[in-house]
Amino acid sequence: MDESLLAPCGMNCAVCSAYLAKANAVKDKGLRYPYCSGCRARNKQCAFLKKRCPRLLQGKVQFCFECPTFPCATLQKLDARYRSRYHMSMVENLRTIQMQGVKRLLAQEKKKWRCPHCGGTICCHNGLCFSCQQDALKKRTQRYRWDE
Ligand code: SF4
Ligand code: SF4
Ligand SMILES: [Zn+2]
C-alpha cells in the first residue's frame, strides 16, 4: 500500500483492477484487462469525476475533503456504486484520512485487501487476487463483479 496511489476522490488505486492488471502484467498471460498506473501517476483523474469537476481538473484540492462541497453529488453517486458493488467507500476512506491520517488508512487497507493465499492484493472490482488467482480471473465472464 502506497500513499501515492491514494487518489483525490478517496479511491485507493492499489486495489483497482486496472492497476493490479498492469502491476501483474496479466496481458502477457492472456487476460484482457485495461492497464493503469494510478490516478496521480497519470496526473489525471478517472474520467467519471474529472469531466465533472473543475477543482480536480485544476488540481485545486489534494483530496476531496478539502472541498467546500464535499461530498458533492457526483462523488456521492460514485461512492454509492462502490459501496453496493465493490465493498468499499471513497467517502469513508477520505474521512479516515481527514480524521486519522494517511498512514492509518494505508494500514487498514493493507489488512482489508491482503490475499490470504499469497499475501498479494485482492481487487475491489471482483474480489480476486491478480497474483495467485489468474486462472479464476480467466474463467470470469463478468470482470467487474464479485458474485458470479
Ligand atoms: S483506472 Fe482510475 S481507479 Fe483505477 S488505477 Fe487508474 S486512476 Fe486509479
Ligand atoms: S468533492 Fe469537490 S473536489 Fe471532489 S469531486 Fe466533488 S466538487 Fe470536485
Ligand atoms: Zn494471492
| Beta carbons of 5 and 17 less than 8 angstroms apart | no
- Residue 68 to residues 13, 27, 56, 71, 83, Cα–Cα distance (Å): 24, 41, 13, 9, 23
Whether 72 is in the pocket of ligand 2, judged by its Cβ within 6 Å, is: yes
Query: What's the 67 CA to ligand 2 centre distance in angstroms?
Result: 6
Identify which of 36, 82, 123 to mutate to test ligand 1's pocket (most ligand atoms within 8 A of the CB): 36
Q: Grid coordinates in use for 33?
A: 484487462
Query: Residue 108: its pLDDT value, please?
Result: 98
Domains of the chain: which residue ranges? Answer: 3-139
pLDDT tens-digit series, residues 89-142:
999 999 999 999 999 999 999 999 999 999 999 999 999 999 999 999 999 989
User: Which residues lie across from 6 on neighbouring strands?
Assistant: 12
Q: What SS3 class is residue 67? A: coil
Q: Is the pTM of this model over 0.85?
A: yes
* Ligand 1 atom, smallest distance to 16 CA: 4
Q: Grid coordinates in use for 146?
A: 464479485
Q: What is the DSSP secondary structure assignment for residue 129, as one 8-state letter?
A: B
* Ligand 1 atom, smallest distance to 42 CA: 7
At 69, the pLDDT band (50, 70, 90 cuts) reads very high
Whether 77 is in the pocket of ligand 2, judged by its Cβ within 6 Å, is: no
Helix 90-100 to helix 102-112 angle (10° resolution) is 140
pLDDT tens-digit series, residues 1-42:
999 999 999 999 999 999 999 999 999 999 999 999 998 887
Ligand 1: residue whose CA is nearest its atom 7 = 39
